[in-house]
Amino acid sequence: MSLEVKVPAVGESITEVTIAQWLKKDGDRVEMDEVIAELESDKATFELPAEGAGILRIVAQEGDTIEVGALLCRIEEDGAGSPAPASPAAEASAAPQASAASPASAPAVAQGGGETVDMVVPTVGESISEVTIASWLKNDGDRVEMDEVIAELESDKATFELPAEAAGTLQIVAQQGDTVEIGGLLCRIIAGAEAPASKPASQPGAPAAQQATVPAAASGYGGSQTYASGTPSPAAGKILSEKGINAADVQGTGRDGRITKEDAQSAQQAAAKPAAAPAPKQEATAASEAPAVSGDRNQRREKMSSLRKTVARRLVQVKNDTAMLTTFNEVDMKPIMDIRTKYKEKFKEKHEVGLGFMSFFTKACTVALQEWPAVNAQIDGNDMIFNDFCDISIAVSSPKGLVVPVIRNAESLSLDGIEKEVIRLAKKARDGKLSIEEMTGGTFTITNGGVFGSMMSTPIINAPQSAILGMHNIVQRPVAIDGQVEIRPMMYLALSYDHRIIDGRESVSFLVRVKELLEDPMRLLLGV
């Protein structure tokens, strides 16, 4: 029998994952609990173990983004495998008529003795109600094997492959380009039946109307061409039709040479150039007036990662759903820099960790958050939730994008304890090993754009939190100290906050308190 392996539930807020890589190939034998793939969510990377022993049949490909609960692969357990072809039925030629007359709701028995399996549109996601048949990879009347991919289905979110649910002769019901609802009939498979001998499986034997839709370059499957070569997907076909571009003039980069939506969009620009070209009599004049273009003008397209899509979606949501405002101040960093210069060697010798700026800023923020609790609160519907603890989120730039791990109960940690947590979480972020728990929650966020040279910015709130502190680069600037102009290492601070829950007095007072604690670090030790 065949065991279906689906995307597991990996967290309450995670609805989809991306297949980072398959560690086993299609057709390989796998053992129970053997890791066969790595899955990426917007928060972490997970390993996928095999749920049984047998032969692996991959359904979703590397780079695909699929929803939780969707099919990833099948494992043909020991003793299963693909069914062997049955002996030819005596009345196989009558089978198509018999199955067409049978109801679509239940398997029927063909005249030749084979069972007819109805294949319907599978459930591919909670919010997806219909799919479009992008292409049939097998022709009507062809023989198909169990789990062989016979069609590609497109939804508004992703493209899915449709595997055969039995071995036998394919009878196509819904045609390429049709939009079919979830549960709608796609095709029938007459199990155990052979393809009619009177109909060759090769393309030249297909009906003339069907051949007319295939570009001449793909006819006969010459070389590496298939029947899909040069055929546009429904979305691509619509774009080409609107722009009046012939599909035969477009080079397809999709599966088996299929023309994708991106190909059609690129083609519309290329095809528009000849139309906009000047008449032959004006060519010489136009050429003399147009500036010469030199250098490479290549473009490359990359699919957004699941993490990047989620970050983009959440940032836009925060801008739309909050009354975000930013207040600024500046800090004289000389007192902290003097402490670091004087004690950093002894500090590292004792605690085996360096004394950085982040520990001072984190400690100062926890003190100020306890004095101004609204900055540490959040809105939940019509309620305001105030936290007695300070879980500080630290924005970290990882190779896969921005992640925000959390330092739990930072208010109870010493400077060395904070530094050790920062280093531990940053290392796990760079290695892609952060867990869901390490990035869940957080009551206040600190982000340091200064490490990249930012002088001033307005950071965006990390929802559902209500405030975020932005650190910036340290610049030597002239400032007035006791009536005298001195050169001091200065840093701009920015506090973005949700004005729905934090008033101006609270936000400004919070930032002033942080400034006082940083410019006089002795206050952190004395608690004043």
Closest to 327 (Cα-Cα) out of 497, 460, 449, 472: 497
pLDDT (mean) for 463-488: 94
For the chain, how many residues are written? 528
What is the rounded distance in angstroms from the CA atom of residue 96 to the CA atom of residue 116?
10
Dist CA 340 CA 267 (whole Å): 60
Q: Are 305 and 401 in contact (CB under 8 A)?
A: yes
Range 268-275 average pLDDT: 48
Confidence of residue 194 (pLDDT cuts 50, 70, 90): low
Residue 444 in this model has a pLDDT that exceeds 80: yes
Of the pLDDT bands very low, low, confident and very high (cuts 50, 70, 90), residue 90 is very low
User: How far lies 281's CA from each of 278, 284, 285, 286, 346, in Å?
Assistant: 8, 7, 8, 10, 82
Q: Is the pLDDT of residue 218 over 70?
A: no
142, 431, 503, 520: the catalytic one is: 503
pLDDT confidence of residue 483: 92
CATH number listed for the domain at residues 323-526: 3.30.559.10
**Tens digits of residue pLDDT in 172-184:** 999 988 888 888 8
Is 472 catalytic? The answer is no
446 versus 134: which is more confidently predicted? 446
Q: What is the C-alpha separation between 170 and 145, in angstroms, rounded?
A: 10
**Helices and strands per DSSP (H, E), number in the chain:** 12, 28
Is the separation of the CB atoms in 376 and 389 below 8 Å? no
Catalytic site includes residue 351: no
- Residue 245: its pLDDT value, please? 83
Comma-separated ranges of CATH 2.40.50.100 domains in the chain: 1-81, 83-206
**Stretch(es) of the chain classified as CATH 3.30.559.10:** 323-526
486-497 residue pLDDT tens = 999 999 999 999
> Whole-angstrom Cα distance, residue 287 to residue 49?
62
pLDDT at 334: 95
Q: Report the pLDDT averaged over residues 390-400.
A: 88
Catalytic member of 33, 156, 178, 499: 499
CA atoms of 317 and 305, how far apart (whole Å): 18
pLDDT at 327 over 60: yes
Three-state secondary structure string covering 160-171: EEEECCCCEEEE
Give the class (CATH, top level) of 1-81.
mainly beta
Count the neighbouring beta carbons within 10 Å of the beta carbon of residue 440. Answer: 14
Q: Indicate the range of 86-100, 143-157, 376-390 predicted with least confidence.
A: 86-100
Query: What are the DSSP calls for 211-244, one per residue?
Result: HHTS-GGGGGG-TT--TTTTPBPHHHHHHHHHHT
Higher-pLDDT residue of 129 and 458 is 458
Q: pLDDT higher for 41 or 13? A: 41
What kind of architecture, by CATH, is found in domain 83-206?
A: Beta Barrel (2.40)
